[in-house]
Structure 1
Amino acid sequence: MTRPRLTALSVLGLSGLMVLTGCFGPPSPSPTTSSAAPSASAGTSTSPSTTAGATTTATPTTPGSTSAAPTTPAAAPPSSVPTSPPPTQEPAPTGLPEQVAPLTVYYVAVGDNGVSGPMIGCGDSLVATTTAPVRFTDQVGPSVGTLLANKSRDVGLSGLINALYQSNLTYLGGELNGSTISIWLSGQFMLGGVCDVPRAKAQLEYTAMAASGATNAQVFVNGRPIDEVLSLK
């Protein structure tokens, strides 16, 4: 069997066809698919950005609530401020200075007619006596208290008497107002007769005046003036 012989022209034509076939063959995979992946990725990335936007919107509220916290100490009520005086303040000293001295107490010289001291009713005299040194701050209280505490009628061997020896009286307090000393007593008088009334009154008044340096005296017993109380005796 005789094979057809290929001429040079046939060979060239076949080669040209093959070249054309290579140029116009099936199209290669489109690169658009791989390029779309970044687009999809970019599109997907917009979703986190939306979430980030929501987070960004909520973030300012946290500092706002935190900044309000410091206002709590500033709004403390005024009652928290201490009202007590500073510890450096000291109270002003009160009362009289303490001292040691004898006390002056008055008793009665019956029938002396003012020879030994101030004359009082029934022709008697008041005579000042002194005690041993006593420590005190207010001399009026100790002096009147010493007089009221003496429960003996006779004052030693002096010949003086104490018209208050039977009375049950207690010193409550005293006040010096100018040249007048006022003293307050509680209790009851027990006197031996009409002449003991001026004697008891004079003993109290003169003892209080000597202790305070006053020139006048007022005596109150159970809140009433002594003259009113002794008028019933």
Structure 2
Amino acid sequence: MAGVRAVMVASALSLPLWAAACVTPPLQDTPPSPAPPLVDARTTPTPAAAPPVPAPQPQAPPPATAVTPPAPETKGGAPAAPAETAPVGTATAPAPEVPASEDPLPSAPAPSGKVAGPQTVTAYYVLLDDGGSNGVRFGCNDSLVGVSHPSSAGEDALAAAVRALLDAQAEPEQSQQPPEVYNALSESDLKFLSGSFDGTTVTVYLAGTLSMGGVCDLPRVEAQLTHTAVSAVGAIRAEIYVNGLTLAEALRLD
């Protein structure tokens, strides 16, 4: 019995050490996590703004591409010259065909840069004592009539008309048979120097001598020279100078 008690006493003494080893240490308190912030029900959270969407930009159309067919081969194996091709998307109209029975229009001749002069000019003469029956009545009951004279191509109309009047041997146009006219300048020796036209007035410069057969030749000379110069260029009035003097002054001297 004594031995049993010793065993029991030893067991009782060692029990706390064994129990102490088997006891789980008490758990430590974990600090509570912070509570989420309270949301006020009266305020509504503002949503984040969406990023701006870029506007579409116009794009240039793709460049047209040309399609070049392969060059055909000619006899002998040499490649022919490539034909011109039109860009894709364009239509080329075929050239119109001219019927064989219709001739193409003739092309207009290119201007030579020089205007051809008139083929005829008109000089004025006198029908003595005609009284205006065959022309314009003036002076000593005479008539003033125009006679056509041929002129060379390219010759100035004013110079050609005045020279025909001053030339007593000037022949009229073949198609015109003038009556027996009188030239009051046939006895004078005058030369044409120059002339001009400003659109209204024609001016003629002469040099030489005036010879007349009487007082009735004064209006005849003036009418012949004035009407010849005016009709040559289509002027309204004429100014005639002889040796630097007006025609009226030259006629008074003679």
TM-score band by shorter chain is 0.5 to 0.7
Query: What is the aligned residue count?
Result: 136
Tell me: CA distance 1:113–1:208, structure 2 relative to 1, closer, same or farther (3 Å): same
Q: What is the CA–CA distance in structure 1 between the aligned matches of 2:114 and 2:243, rounded to whole Å?
A: 27
**Is structure 2 residue 222 aligned with structure 1 residue 201?**
yes
Q: Within 1, Cα distance between the matches of 2:143 and 2:178?
A: 17
Between the aligned partners of 1:128 and 1:157, the Cα distance in structure 2 is 9
Q: Which runs of 4+ in 1 moved over 4 A?
A: none
Q: Which ranges in structure 1 are unaligned for 5 or more consecutive residues?
A: 1-94
Q: Which residue of 1 aligns with 2:150?
A: 132
Which residue is 2:134 aligned to?
116
Q: How does 1:1-233 map to 2 (within 5 A)?
A: 97-151=115-169, 158-233=179-254
Distance in 2 (alpha carbons) for counterparts of 1:96 and 1:148: 27
Deviation at 1:151, TM superposition (A): 5.0
> How many Å apart are 1:157 and its aligned residue?
6.8
Contact 1:96 1:138 in 2 (8 A): no
> Match of 1:191, SS?
coil
Contact 1:96 1:137 in 2 (8 A): no
Residue 201 of structure 1: how far off its partner (Å) = 1.1
Tell me the distance in 2 between the aligned counterparts of 1:163 and 1:220.
Answer: 17
Secondary structure of 1:103's aligned partner: strand
Question: For residues 131 and 244 of structure 2, what CA distance do their matches in structure 1 show?
Answer: 33
**Contact 2:149 2:164 survives alignment (8 Å):** no
Q: Which amino acid is the alignment partner of residue 161 of structure 1?
A: Y
Structure 2 residue runs without a partner (length 5+): 1-112, 171-176
RMSD: 2.0
Q: Give the Cα–Cα distance (whole angstroms) in 2 for the partners of residues 190 and 177 of structure 1.
A: 30
1:69-110 superposed Cα distances (whole Å, 9 cap, x missing partner): xxxxxxxxxxxxxxxxxxxxxxxxxx9722341110110011
> Which structure dedicates a bigger proportion of its chain to helix?
1
Q: How far apart in 1 are the matches of 2:169 and 2:212?
A: 12
Return the alpha-carbon distance in structure 2 between the equivalents of residues 142 and 99 of structure 1: 10
Q: Deviations over 1:180-209 (max 9, x none)?
A: 111000011011110011101111111111
Instruction: Give a deviation string over 1:46-78, Cα, whole Å, max 9, x none.
Output: xxxxxxxxxxxxxxxxxxxxxxxxxxxxxxxxx
